[in-house]
A and B are shown apart, each in its own frame.
Chain A
Amino acid sequence: MTRSWVRWIPAMAVPVLIASAAVAVPLSANAAVSLPDKSPQQLLALVADAKVTALSGTIQQTSDLGLPQLPDTGAGAGSTASSLLELLSGSHTARVYMDGRTNLRMQILDKLAERDLIRSGSDLWLYDSSDKKVTHSVLPGDPAGARSTAPGVSLTPEELATQLIAAVDPSTKLTVGSDLRVAGRTAYELVLTPKATDSLLSSVSIAVDSATGLPLEVSLNARGQKSTAASIGFTSISLAKPDASLFAFTPPAGSTVTQQPISPRSDAKHTGPTQSPTAAPGDTTARPTVMGKGWSAVVAVPASPKISALLGSPLYSQLTSAVGGGRLLHTSLVNVLVTSDGRIFAGSVPAARLQAAAAAQQ
């Protein structure tokens, strides 16, 4: 009988081995990092001096905003409203290739599909494999200017971090967190804490690569939520120069090409990493205005036909709840109030402040 007991040993040992490997491998990847101490100002200088000109890597974006989750498949998938929602929940993976300030390729890896953004010099191409649509734009003016592909859209941790750091003012407390390891590289953690107590955002932490000063990860933490509310960061990165053929794009056979002119403007207010990267550039039906300053600023968007079309979808009434003066979309990071006359107020503030702003504007 002892012999038959012995024969079950592999069956018992293997799961134990796999479980211990599953625990040990992430632990060894996060083994304690110890870097020479730096002050927040030194870190800001490190980021400002970052001289990374070429990279290729994989970016992961995750959101946990307390929104209801929908199944991946089913009738709801594919509609405009649910693809917006899809960007606000769950996680997305993208590959990014960059060479110099004017060559960029970003591939958002969807299930059995892909959305591509290719910038080569002043040419900007958007390609969506699911409907084979190509959008071509020519960027105006100085092509060596802004790194960003479309005004106001943050695509990479680096762009988002640069925008956040540029917005640092006396309303923000800067501290240095613990040293960490991101995408296999050692990094400092720069923590931005809003001094305003009415902001839904409790802190922003930026992982800054210790060797190059490149921001590797940005995480947004919401007040009263233990897990990270939203984050975007590299899961792998290489600083080698990517193949030049990656930036050469010719619309494939059978695709429909739309030419989209870009009007020179740069006042679009970004709302964080959850903004749709495929948002059409130069789409200015309604100019938003910003009320207030710092972390508790409120963005007001006037009513427009395009917005009211979106509000007709059943998902809208499902996601929002009725409040005084309109309907409210509540997430752990951002509140959005849609007034009954179609205006939109958004901000990282409690709903009452949005209602007050809406009442004040009338």
Chain B
Amino acid sequence: MSPSEAIDGQGAVRSRPTIGLALLGSELSVLFRRRRTWAMLLALAAVPVLIAVAVRLSSSGPTPGRGPAFLDQITQNGLFVSAVGLIVSIPLFLPLTIGVVAGDTIAGEANVSTLRYLLVAPAGRVRLLVVKYLATAAFCLAATLAVTIAGALIGVALFPVAPVTLLSGDTIGVADSVIRSLLIAAYITVSLLGLSAIGVFISTMTDVPVGAMATTIVLSVVSQILDSLPQLDWLHPWLFSHYWLGFADLLRQPISWDSFGQNAVLQGGYFVVFAALAYGRFSTKDILS
């Protein structure tokens, strides 16, 4: 088939060990120099900022038990702004941005006819897929950190900082709570890896990036709708969005690692399935653009 396939083999990897890293570096710099990427990160960072400003400006504080979880705690402790921001972003905003980035990976290159040039350079299809996926994963981390850090900064700026009350009623110090915030960011990044793999696979199916983006986002919404139907109990543990809000287990005392582990196994399963599918599709595809 195409000349690029000959370079796919092990020999190429061994003789040019740095090419993957160079490709990853260029891919990351392309991704993070895009205006679109920055616009999405800024939009994500705006979520906790909007929440904090709205709570700050309203005369009466939020009542417990209404609105998203932890909202009533913001006025006493600014460190909770990140948590509220994440809870609000997880169902739609985060999957939306991941869908855009993952859906664009292969289809975007094909759409502007740069895919064949990427493959003519000694890159190889598998390595290109791996690099594209890693770049998407890097964006997952950046997106989660954008919400977490923006939330922490605006929270500290507008509200008092105090020791954090965990869900269990225990209180931990500020340093401990920073560690837990980072753990939550790690949890949510892992949560989004399955969706990223799905997005990259869909992206190999089409030359129209918008189609791949929309399909990925719709799938994430469908998964969440299925997850809320009790009649489908048996299906729930298999849905990639099932553990998305499970990061609350990191806010218990002692930390419950069960959902972290289950989530990682589930996302790993989605990654393996869709990586294999993407490999099957992309390595047999006729690259015409």
Interface residues of B in 83-100 (CB under 8 A from A): 87
- A11 engages B269 (CB within 8 Å): no
B26 at the interface (CB under 8 A from A): no
Mark out the residues of chain B between 263 and 289 whose CB falls within 8 Å of any chain A CB in the assembled complex: 269, 272-273, 276-277, 279-281, 283-284
Residues of B within 8 A of A3 (CB): 1
Most buried by A among B87, B248, B249, B280: B280
What mask results when residues 57 to 74 of chain A are scored 1 for a CB within 8 Å of chain B, else 0?
A: 010000000000111110
Please, which residues of chain B bring their CB within 8 A of the CB of A9?
280
| A317-337 interface bits toward B, Cβ cutoff 8 Å, 1 = contact, 0 = none | 000000000000000000000
**How far is it, in angstroms, between the C-alpha of A3 and the C-alpha of B162 when the chains are bound?**
62
Q: A18-B269, A72-B230, A73-B228 are in contact. Are A254 and B73 (CB under 8 A)?
A: yes
**Does any Cβ of A come within 8 Å of B169's Cβ?**
yes
Specify the chain B residue showing the minimal Cβ separation from A5: B284
Q: Mark A91-130, 1 if CB is under 8 A from B, else 0.
A: 0000100000000000101011110101000000101011
A-B contact pairs, 7 of them (CB 8 A): A7-B280, A70-B230, A90-B230, A130-B69, A252-B170, A252-B171, A253-B162
| C-alpha gap A113/B245 in the complex (Å) | 11
For residue A14, which residues in chain B have a CB less than 8 angstroms away from its CB? 272-273, 276
Q: Are A7 and B279 closer than 8 Å at their CB atoms?
A: yes
- Whether B230 lies near A112 (C-beta < 8 A) is no
Partner of B280, one of A11, A107, A131, A255: A11
Q: How far is the CB of A75 from chain B (nearest CB, A)?
A: 13
Instruction: State in angstroms the CA–CA spacing of A151 and B165 once bound together.
Output: 30
Inter-chain contact A249/B169, CB cutoff 8 Å: yes
Q: How far is the CB of B208 from chain A (nearest CB, A)?
A: 22
Say yes or no: is A282 at the interface (Cβ < 8 Å to chain B).
no
Contact, CB under 8 Å: A130 / B64: yes
A76 at interface by CB-CB < 8 Å = no
In the assembled complex, which residues on chain B have CB atoms less than 8 Å from the CB atom of A73? 228
Once bound together, how far apart are the Cα atoms of A70 and B279, in whole Å? 41
CA distance A246 to B169 in the complex (A): 11
Q: B229 on the interface (CB 8 Å rule)?
A: yes
Q: A11-B273, A112-B245 are in contact. List 16 more A-B contacts (CB 8 A).
A: A7-B279, A10-B279, A11-B280, A11-B281, A13-B276, A14-B272, A18-B272, A71-B229, A71-B230, A113-B167, A113-B248, A127-B169, A131-B65, A246-B253, A246-B254, A253-B171
Q: What chain A residues lie within 8 Å of B230 (beta carbons)?
A: 69-72, 89-90
Is there contact, CB below 8 Å, between B228 and A107? no
Min distance, Cβ A168 to any Cβ of chain B, angstroms: 34
Q: Which residues of B contact A72 (CB under 8 A)?
A: 228, 230
Residues of A within 8 A of B176 (CB): none
- Chain A hits for B258, CB < 8 A: 58
Given A130-B64, A249-B169, A252-B170, verify A4-B284 contact (CB < 8 Å). Answer: yes
